[in-house]
């Protein structure tokens, strides 16, 4: 299953970009990052069998193990793409929220988009590591 991050805003070549790349390279599953301008731009066409996850402050706060189990279930159900959307500064509207398969939150704090992208990459690495019984994740 492809783990696809679609993010508003350009990350450039700074330390945040290096951190995102470092985690994505460690993931054994296929990954992809698509950057869109803060406004406008066309989202890539969704996969035929895909799920959409919006990073949103109103979303569920999942543990790393809970996120891993969701990815596992989607993968085992034949989902071909898990698309994680990071919105622009104003986030997502109610229509986008309503059409998502999951609203995911990294807590009640507001995070800069570049850090949110790095946090997502790390959590995807952690979740796939959990599913592979890799010792990276330590519970408790």
pTM to 2 decimal places: 0.92
Q: How far is CA 126 from CA 9, 68, 90, in A?
A: 24, 8, 28
Structure tokens at 36: 């869109």
> What digits encode the pLDDT tens for the residues 70-100?
999 999 999 999 999 999 888 899 999 999 9
> Whole-angstrom Cα distance, residue 88 to residue 113?
8
Express each pLDDT in 36-69 by its tens digit: 998 888 888 888 999 999 999 999 999 999 999 9
First and final CA of the chain: distance in angstroms?
Answer: 28
The DSSP output letter for 88 is B
pLDDT at 65: 96
Q: Yes or no: say if 15 and 47 are a contact pair by the CB < 8 Å rule.
A: no
């Amino acid at each position: 299953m492809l783990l696809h991050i679609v993010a508003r805003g350009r990350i450039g070549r700074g330390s945040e970009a290096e951190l995102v790349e470092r985690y994505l390279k460690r993931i054994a599953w296929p990954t992809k990052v698509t950057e869109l301008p803060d406004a406008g731009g066309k989202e890539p066409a969704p996969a035929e069998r895909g799920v959409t996850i919006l990073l949103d402050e109103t979303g569920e706060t999942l543990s790393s193990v809970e996120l891993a189990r969701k990815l596992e279930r989607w993968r085992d159900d034949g989902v071909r793409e898990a698309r994680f959307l990071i919105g622009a500064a104003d986030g997502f509207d109610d229509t986008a929220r309503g059409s998502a398969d999951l609203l995911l939150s990294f807590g009640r704090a507001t995070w800069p988009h570049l850090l949110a992208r790095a946090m997502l990459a790390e959590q995807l690495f952690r979740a796939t590591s959990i599913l592979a019984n890799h010792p990276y994740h330590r519970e408790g």
